[in-house]
Amino acid sequence: MGTRLKRALLAGSVILLILCGAIIGTARGNALASAPKHHPRAMTQIHFFLNWLPNVEFSGLWVAQHFGWWKAAGIDMTFTGWSPSVVPETDVPQHSGNQFGFQSGAALGIARAQGVKDVALYTDTQKSVFGLTVLNKSHITSLKQLKGKKIGYQPHEIYVPEAMLASVGLQPQRDYKLVPVSFDISQLTSGAVDAYEVFLTNEPITLDMQGVKNHSFKASDYSFHFYDDVMFTTDGLAKSNPALVRKVTAIVARGFMWAHSHPAQAAQITVAKYFPAGKGVSAQANLTQQKLESERFVPFSRDSHGQFSGRMTAAYWQDSLNTLLRYKLITHKPPVSSLFTNSFNPNKM
């Protein structure tokens, strides 16, 4: 019940008091019996598989949760953060229910070429946030100077440095050595590699906070045209429940638009509940890094009109497929129309 019933009884005889109580109790009981019963609205369950840890990279989700936008839409949102066993592009179609995910456009293109029926709905990045970072003390100021050098790369993303260096005429093995590395920037600072593949919104900030002077080359400036943080679902869900897919996409778009317009506040929301400081990292250092990362995402998320639209183009996806085919990561190019749709995006051109 909502408010409790309060009575003020005047002094009277005991009999009158009992009779009044009995009459009121009976009336109240009858009223309750005849009143319609209100049940809480059933919440629709959705789940996200993330392609990285639950930091500001996914602040659109956390902002929407913080302001109650998911709940107001009748949605209960849960997620699985990245780990070596999480593969969003295949985990989403392999699980039943209302599944969504975030993954790079490259991974989605490869999966589609292999017959996995995922479809991209929204992208938080309009151009790739990948890059190669070098230390200032190396005096390397152009990619061509990486000839004869050791290039650290993530094994599942070898095409990033290969595509970048090919754009300036350098070929692997002949002109430089590729060295597989882990997610540990100390491999650059120790001299184990001369250049290190990074997310420009992450590792270079870590180096800056450590006082290590560094310089980065943006992959998007060197013929690497991919969307990186792409929200997707399956063809099946998009066709069977378009209303839900449209609602989820709209909330995510609203969340990212707010986050990129308020990067510091978005970082605070993220750190407060989703990405606390890890072992050996102070709460203040963690918050500072997340604020800087949140700010760094902003220019990558603006489209050609300066808006946070999340919209995609066929030409950009086609360029992505051309790169994947060139480096033999796919054996054929799936139709671009099967890879993405803007039809669920609330932001129109």
Residue 331 is assigned to a structural domain of this protein:
yes
Number of domains forming the structure of the chain: 2
- Mean pLDDT in the chain? 90
Domain ends where: 221, 253, 273? 221
Write down the pLDDT at residue 18.
31
pLDDT band at 22 (very low <50, low <70, confident <90, very high): very low
Overall average pLDDT of the 83-90 stretch: 95
Average pLDDT of the residues in 273-290: 97
The yes-or-no verdict on residue 33 having pLDDT over 80 is no
The per-residue pLDDT for 156 is: 85
What pLDDT sits at residue 243?
98
Last residue of a domain, one of 221, 254, 282: 221
Q: Residue 234: inside a domain, yes or no?
A: yes
Q: Which stretches of 36-139 are assigned E, i.e. beta strand?
A: 44-49, 75-80, 98-103, 118-123, 130-135
251 and 333, same domain (yes or no): yes
* Same domain as 235, residue 91: yes
The Cα 313–Cα 56 span in angstroms is 25
- What is the per-residue pLDDT for 40? 60
Average pLDDT over residues 183-193: 95
Least reliable range by pLDDT among 27-36, 209-218, 268-277: 27-36
Mean pLDDT of 68-91: 97
Q: Is 238 in the same domain as 274? A: yes
Of 333, 327, 343, nearest to 112 by C-alpha is: 333
Specify if 18 maps to a domain.
Answer: no
Within a domain: 16: no
In the structure, what pLDDT confidence band is assigned to residue 58 with cuts at 50, 70 and 90?
very high
Q: What is the CATH number of the domain that holds 165?
A: 3.40.190.10
Check whether 10 has a pLDDT greater than 50.
Answer: no
Of the pLDDT bands very low, low, confident and very high (cuts 50, 70, 90), residue 27 is very low
- 230 lies in the same domain as 313: yes
How buried is residue 211: exposed, middle or buried, by Cβ count under 10 Å (0-12/13-18/19+)?
exposed
Q: Write down the pLDDT at residue 155.
A: 87
Per cent of the chain over pLDDT 70 is 89
State yes or no: pLDDT of 152 exceeds 60: yes
Average pLDDT (328-349) is 95
Residues 119 and 235 occupy one common structural domain:
yes
What pLDDT, on a 0 to 100 scale, did the predictor assign at position 248?
Answer: 98
Q: Which of 166, 192, 221 is a domain's end point?
A: 221
Q: Are residues 257 and 116 in the same domain?
A: yes
**pLDDT exceeds 90 at position 115:** yes
Q: Is the per-residue pLDDT at 91 higher than 80? A: yes
Q: Are 278 and 286 in contact (CB under 8 A)?
A: yes
pTM: 0.86
**Is residue 8 one of the residues assigned to a domain?**
no
Q: Which residue has the higher pLDDT, 32 or 142?
A: 142
Same domain, 247 and 148: no
- Do residues 256 and 297 both lie within one domain? yes
pLDDT given for residue 36 in this prediction: 44
In terms of residue numbers, what domain contains 217?
Answer: 130-221
Do 136 and 280 belong to one domain? no
Whether residue 75 lies inside any domain: the answer is yes
Q: Picking from 39-48, 197-206, 210-219, 333-342, which range would have the lowest pLDDT averaged per residue?
A: 39-48
Structure tokens at 299: 């220019």
pLDDT digits (tens, 9 = 90+) for 240-268: 999 999 999 999 999 999 999 999 999 99
**What pLDDT was estimated at residue 6?**
31
Give the position of tokens 């600072």: 189
Query: Whole-angstrom Cα distance, residue 295 to residue 62?
Result: 16
Query: How far apart, in whole angstroms, are the C-alpha atoms of residue 94 and residue 234?
Result: 10
Do residues 105 and 154 share a domain? Answer: no
Q: Is pLDDT at 124 greater than 70 in this prediction?
A: yes
Does position 37 have pLDDT exceeding 90, yes or no? no
Please tell me the predicted confidence (pLDDT) of residue 28: 38
User: Within a domain: residue 48?
Assistant: yes
In a domain, 207, yes or no: yes
Percent of the chain with pLDDT over 90: 85
**Are residues 181 and 153 in contact, defined by beta-carbon separation less than 8 angstroms?**
yes
Q: 333 and 230 in one domain?
A: yes
Can you tell me the mean pLDDT for 92-120? 97
Burial-class residue 249 by CB neighbours within 10 Å (0-12, 13-18, 19+): buried
Q: Are residues 143 and 83 in the same domain?
A: no
